[in-house]
Amino acid sequence: MSQRYPNYWEYIRVEELLALQGGLEEDEAQLSDDEVMFITVHQVYELWFKLLLRQLTTVRNLFRGPRVEETELAGVVQGLRRGVVILRRCVDHFEVMETLRTRYYLEFRDKLTPASGFQSAQMRQLEILFGLEDKDRIPLGVEGSYVTALRSHDGRSSPALARVQRQQEDLPTLRHAIEEWLWRTPIDGVGPDEPNADAALDRFVAAYLRAHEGEVDHSAAAALVHATGADEHSRLLARYEREKESLRQFLGGSEAEGGPRQRRMRAALLFILTYQDLALLSWPGAVLEGLIELEQAMTLFRQRHARMVERVIGRRTGTGGSAGVDYLDQTALSYRVFRDLWAVRTFQLRRSAAPALANPAYYGFVTG
């Protein structure tokens, strides 16, 4: 059989791709330059979302097994890195959309109604893959839930809805997979199923709380020197006391704080971040940094979208019927998935203030 050599246009499917910007008219010649740009930019986003979903699913899959090998953590970090870079490009792309002047957008905007970006199934898939829960979503407005918004106008299912439903069944979410991994992380060399697991955890938590109190007292002493008057003195003192109390609560293991399981995961987060200079913990540390970068990029995407929307349409009602910019700003504020990862930033310590490792030999750290 003779070998077939492809052309660029065959491999990339250029002709098929270029035939997709005709809009509802299915004919580009009938559309303004603005509308072709509007359609093309959305299509570019959907392609980036497709890649992101694929890449982050691979990352999630690497965490699926009962044990994650160190060599696989390098793959996770690489996958997260690509995800972050793609999301940052998504943030930049809004600049192209911003070349759309309000009066020109209004020329064709009404014909889109009630279509809207909130019917982007792939964005919903990404949120679900991250681990955003339905209870944490903000109501959209007239369309009801985000799931109803994906139904066809006659109420029947749609390819968009089917995608999202498949995603809902594709478990675990990235968040749950990471939480499992954190739960299994040995603390001071002791895993959760070993007989002295609780004792090792308690020891680390107590040592960390002591070190943290010392650091907060240190900062408080430096700040109180500058307090002018008794009122400011006691206000500052109370603020620093609250900092200590919030870490005690965070690591307290009460039901309100997610119980003992959450306590272990939170302690593991602090443990990895405190000792990430150790060879055994450097990949786990890089995974955690990659995750926070990813969620930060997602938040910036939401914020950037909202600013672009404000510039193009002001604060009018969205084509999908939501409160528009107000709704988008709320999602940027509250759609956080890796909340504990953000929370621990408040509790991290200077390197020199970290409590001593209880079991340095486990980490190949030998002194003397």
As measured in angstroms, the least distance from the Cβ of 144 to ligand HEM is 13
When the beta carbons of 83 and 320 are compared against ligand HEM, the nearer one is 320
To the nearest whole angstrom, how small is the minimum distance from the Cβ of residue 152 to ligand HEM? 18
Alpha carbons within 13 A on the beta-carbon side of 11: 5
Q: What is the smallest separation between the CB atom of 22 and ligand HEM, expressed in angstroms?
A: 18
Identify residue 127 by its one-letter amino acid code: E
3-state DSSP assignment of residue 190: strand
Dihedral class, residue 52 (left if φ above 0, else alpha if ψ from -120 to 50, else beta): alpha
Of 75 and 321, which CB lies nearer to ligand HEM in the complex structure? 321
Least distance in angstroms from the C-beta of 19 to ligand HEM: 21
Smallest distance from the beta carbon of 2 to ligand HEM, in angstroms? 44
Ranked by CB distance to ligand HEM, the top (closest) residue is 318
> Among residues 74 and 112, whose Cβ is nearest to ligand HEM?
112
CB nearer ligand HEM, residue 37 or residue 236:
37
Q: Residue 63: which of 197, 185, 145 has the closest Cα?
A: 185
Of the two residues 84 and 328, which places its CB atom closer to ligand HEM in the complex?
328
- Residues within the interface to ligand HEM (CB under 6 A): 41-42, 45, 97, 100, 105, 116-118, 120, 123, 305, 309, 312-313, 318-322, 324, 327-328, 331
Q: Closest approach of Cβ 161 to ligand HEM, in Å?
A: 15
CA–CA dist 127, 264 (Å, integer): 25
Q: Of 89 and 210, which CB lies nearer to ligand HEM in the complex structure?
A: 89
Region class of 355: left (phi > 0), else alpha (psi between -120 and 50), else beta: beta
